[in-house]
Amino acid sequence: MNRSAALSLFAAALVAAIPAFGHHSFTMFDMTKRITLAGTVTSFEWTNPHCYIEVDAPDDAGVVKHWSIELGSPSILLQSGWKFNSLKKGDKTTLVINPLKNGQAGGFLSQATLPDGRVVTNGPARQ
């Protein structure tokens, strides 16, 4: 392989990797604010690269909103005491989150109180 072809291949690989670098940005979440949601789990997605909790929780006026909460990866969550079956549809839970900056019903998990009363975080670094 000549030098020009090698450089072209390297550049193509670098461009292809750019979305992966942006993947771990938390700029969409307001990390200066925390809100607490008490609601009912509609699904718990134990997937890579991030897990999600979908929950229905009433707002201050009592109107139920559907929230999508992002967590870390399964490998990180395991280190904080999570398991793939820690939550299931219909479970009652309390979540402390950093909300989305755009005001939509979503956020990044800070900690969760599981149905058995255990409090778990979104990874060892978040404790």
This prediction's pTM: 0.78
Task: Quick: pLDDT tens for 14-39.
Answer: 444 444 444 557 789 999 999 999 99
Domain ranges within the chain, ordered by starting residue = 26-126
Q: Is 125 left (phi over 0), alpha (psi -120 to 50) or beta?
A: alpha
Residues 38-64: tens digit of each pLDDT: 999 999 999 999 999 999 999 889 999
Which element (helix H / strand E) includes 20? helix 3-23
pLDDT at 4 over 80: no
Q: Which of 26-30, 48-52, 73-77, 115-119 has the weakest average pLDDT?
A: 26-30
The answer to whether the CB of 96 falls within 8 A of the CB of 35 is: yes
What does CATH list as the number for 26-126? 2.40.50.140
Phi then psi for 94, rounded to 5 degrees? -120, 130
